[in-house]
């Protein structure tokens, strides 16, 4: 007697038994803390998908929110931390891609009296490696700290909590030296927002800190791109507006190619100050990048710093400002180089009559860029741009400079420095800042062409609807050059005074002066 036939099984089930049932996505969401006295803490979570099983893998972690306090006096529950880690290794020509995202949980709220709950932290890490000869590698990491808990509905002097930290996020994309594919690594890291307060004397929470980001891209004959955007957390609303957090990056992006093109972009941005009876300060921003490359056919570097804007306020006796910005970059290579450093001071959007008084205003700005190539016929380009923040007093600018050095190729150095403009107001218009440059653009070649450009601009004065318009900033540009080794030298020195602010009452004021010497 023959054995009975086995029961039929669906094809999909047979396939699932023949190979592991991998998932390319890992998502972890923390439980929220319960409301109570005391309230519960948000759950801390980790989403780990490294090494991921597929050519494309993601990991997403979201910390739980803190619970609210139900007692008359109490603290909100803390938000949970979040960590996401993912990787992808592939030999496919379709590429390897990894995306990691982490979001800290928000702090809980007290009911009547008490401070807000602590915010959760966030860190994201992504890694991609493609071993094929043509496929790409992409790694993206995104991290945002949780929001700080606010004070209770009758907050009084209790303060809100600081925003959560976003820190140490990394992205790495790698290809082999003979690959013709492209590698891209990017990090976006943002500190959490400070909590709000309802009290008449309580302060809004400070913006959450952001720091430690790193991005690296390695390619062969193709393109390698590494970029970071790091933003300090914004302050929370309160009688004293919370200040935005500072953001600083030092040599945070890197990469290499084997005869390809390398693009590096590093951006630090300060957090926005919050509104309040007393306005919160904008966070300062500093971005510094020094790169030496000997193997890429082209290296392009972009170094950016953006100061945080100042919050709105009602007190005229507190001299808050937008965040200062400093961008400095240096790039050296055996082949073509192009670097641009850009600094933009934080501004304010308040009129000069009601907000910050005569001491407040836009943030200062300074930019420096240096480029050098040892390639026989390669070009070197360096551009430094500084813009003071707009405000009741325009942000100051000083110390900007650019230098370019080449051999028989072309060296171009350009500096543009613009004073911040004065703000508009019901009272007197704000005053524009002056700008002065003296021999700020320099360079040299060994038989090549040298181009030096220098432009100073004064800030505009602010308008007034009931009093005098603001005074404009002056501008001065002086450039003296001596060169004995270049085949051609061309210099351009320009200065433009700002425009005076207008007034509805007819109380005009003179515009800024522009002086140039070369």
156-185 pLDDT, tens digit per residue, is 556 789 999 999 999 999 999 999 999 999
Asked whether residue 62 is assigned to any structural domain, the reply reads yes
> DSSP character for 362?
P
400/370 Cα distance (integer angstroms)? 11
Give the residue with greater pLDDT, 153 vs 345.
345
List the one residue out of 106, 109, 41 whose CA is nearest residue 75.
109
Sign (positive or negative) of CA dihedral 430, 431, 432, 433? negative
Higher pLDDT, 155 or 351: 155
pLDDT at 391: 85
CB-based contact 214:264 (threshold 8 Å): no
Give 296-346 as a DSSP string: -SEEEEEEEEEPPPPPP-S-SS---BPPPEEEEEEEEESSEEEEEEEEE--
- Which tokens belong to 234? 């914004």
pLDDT band at residue 465, thresholds of 50, 70 and 90? confident
Average pLDDT for residues 185-189, to the nearest whole number? 98
Flag whether 20 is in a domain.
no
The band of 136, judged by pLDDT with boundaries at 50, 70 and 90, is: very high
Task: Reduce the DSSP state of residue 513 to 3 states and report it.
Answer: coil
Closest-CA residue to 62 (of 39, 35, 42, 40): 42
Q: Which range has highest mean pLDDT (11-25, 52-66, 314-328)?
A: 52-66
Q: 444: which residues sit within 8 A by CB, 6+ positions away? A: 405, 406, 411, 450, 483, 485, 486
| β-strands 514-517, 475-478 pairing | parallel
Residue 412: cis peptide before it, omega within 30 degrees of 0: no
Query: Does residue 397 contact residue 366 with C-beta atoms inside 8 Å?
Result: yes
pLDDT of residue 219: 98
17 within a domain of the structure (yes/no): no
| Whole-angstrom distance, CA of residue 66 vs CA of residue 421 | 43
Does residue 511 sit within a domain?
yes
The rounded percent of the chain whose pLDDT value lies above 90 is 74
Query: Is 17 a residue whose pLDDT tops 80?
Result: no
Give Cβ neighbours of residue 451 (< 8 Å, ≥ 6 apart). Answer: 410, 411, 412, 413, 443, 490, 491
* Nearby residues of 502 by Cβ (< 8 Å), 6 or more positions away: 429, 463, 464, 469, 508
Confidence band of 510 (pLDDT split at 50, 70, 90): low
pLDDT at 202: 78
Q: What is d(CA 74, CA 170) in angstroms, rounded to the nearest whole number?
A: 37
CA gap 122, 147 in Å, rounded? 11
Model confidence at 358, in pLDDT bands (50, 70, 90)?
A: very low
Of 195, 360, 369, 222, the C-alpha closest to 297 is 222
Q: How many domains does the chain have?
A: 1
Q: What percent of the chain has pLDDT over 70?
A: 87
**Residue 357 pLDDT grade (very low, low, confident, very high; cuts 50, 70, 90):** very low
Domain extent, residue 279, equals: 25-517
What is the C-alpha separation between 450 and 425, in angstroms, rounded? 45
Where do we find the tokens 């100042």?
A: 310
**Read out DSSP for 167-204?**
E--EEEEEE-TT--S-EEEEEEEEPPPPPP--SSSPBP
Length of the chain counted residue by residue = 518
d(CA 265, CA 303): 6
pLDDT in tens, 204-258: 999 999 999 999 999 999 999 999 999 999 999 988 899 999 999 999 999 999 9
User: What is the model's pLDDT at position 221?
Assistant: 98
Domain assignment present for 13: no
What pLDDT, on a 0 to 100 scale, did the predictor assign at position 517?
A: 56
Q: What is the pLDDT of residue 320?
A: 74
Q: Within a domain: residue 75?
A: yes
Residue 144 lies inside a defined structural domain of this protein: yes
Count of other CB atoms within 10 angstroms of residue 100? 33
Residue 512 has pLDDT above 90, yes or no: no
Positive or negative CA dihedral for 286, 387, 302, 96?
positive
Q: ∠28-246-193 over CA atoms, to 5°?
A: 45
Q: pLDDT band for position 424 (50/70/90)?
A: confident
Mean pLDDT on 317-345: 92
pLDDT tier at 315 (50, 70, 90 boundaries)?
Answer: low
The token duo for 41 is 């803490």
In a domain, 125, yes or no: yes
């Amino acid at each position: 007697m023959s054995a009975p036939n086995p029961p039929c099984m669906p094809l999909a089930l047979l396939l699932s038994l023949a190979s592991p049932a991998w998932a390319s996505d890992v998502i972890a969401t923390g439980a929220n803390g319960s409301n109570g006295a005391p309230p519960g803490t948000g759950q801390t979570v980790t989403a780990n998908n490294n090494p991921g099983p597929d050519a494309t893998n993601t990991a997403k972690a979201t910390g739980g929110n803190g619970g609210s306090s139900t007692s008359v006096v109490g603290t909100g529950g803390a938000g949970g931390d979040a960590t996401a880690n993912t990787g992808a290794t592939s030999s496919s020509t379709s590429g390897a891609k990894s995306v990691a995202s982490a979001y800290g949980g928000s702090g809980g709220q007290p009911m009547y009296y008490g401070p807000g709950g602590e915010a959760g932290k966030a860190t994201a890490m992504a890694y991609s490696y493609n071993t094929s000869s043509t496929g790409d590698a992409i790694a993206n990491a995104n991290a945002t700290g949780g929001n700080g808990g606010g004070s209770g509905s009758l907050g009084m002097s209790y303060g809100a909590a600081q925003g959560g930290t976003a820190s140490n996020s990394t992205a790495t994309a790698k290809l082999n030296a003979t690959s013709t594919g492209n590698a891209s690594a990017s990090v976006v890291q943002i500190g959490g927002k400070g909590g709000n307060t309802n009290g008449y004397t309580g302060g809004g929470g400070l913006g959450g800190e952001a720091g430690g980001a790193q991005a690296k891209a390695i390619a062969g004959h193709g393109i390698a791109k590494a970029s970071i955007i790091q933003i300090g957390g914004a302050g929370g609303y309160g009688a004293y507006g919370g200040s935005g957090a500072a953001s600083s990056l030092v040599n945070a992006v890197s990469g290499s190619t084997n005869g390809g093109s390398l693009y590096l972009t590093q951006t630090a941005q300060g957090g926005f100050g919050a509104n309040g009876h007393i306005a919160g300060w904008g966070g300062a921003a500093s971005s510094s990048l020094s790169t030496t490359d000997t193997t890429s056919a082209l290296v392009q570097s972009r170094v950016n710093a953006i100061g945080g804007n100042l919050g709105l306020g009602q007190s005229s006796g507190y001299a808050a400002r937008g965040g200062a910005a400093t961008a400095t970059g240096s790039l050296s290579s055996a082949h073509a180089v192009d670097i641009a450093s850009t600094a933009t001071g934080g501004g304010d959007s308040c009129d000069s009559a009601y907000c910050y008084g005569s001491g407040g205003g836009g943030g200062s700005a300074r930019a420096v860029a240096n480029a050098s190539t040892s390639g026989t016929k390669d070009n070197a380009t360096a551009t430094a741009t500084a813009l003071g923040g707009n405000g009741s007093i325009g942000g100051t600018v000083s110390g900007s400079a650019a230098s370019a050095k080449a051999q028989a190729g072309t060296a171009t150095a350009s500096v543009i420095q613009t004073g911040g403009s004065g703000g508009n107001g019901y009272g007197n218009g704000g005053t524009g800042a002056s700008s002065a440059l003296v021999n700020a653009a320099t360079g040299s070649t060994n038989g090549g062409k040298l181009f030096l450009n220098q432009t100073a601009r004064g800030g505009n004065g602010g308008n007034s609807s009931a009093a005098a318009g603001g005074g404009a900033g002056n501008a001065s540009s002086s450039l003296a050059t001596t060169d004995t080794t270049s085949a051609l030298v061309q210099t351009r020195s320009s200065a433009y005074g700002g425009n005076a602010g207008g007034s509805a009452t007819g109380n005009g004021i003179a515009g800024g002066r522009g002086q140039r010497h070369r």
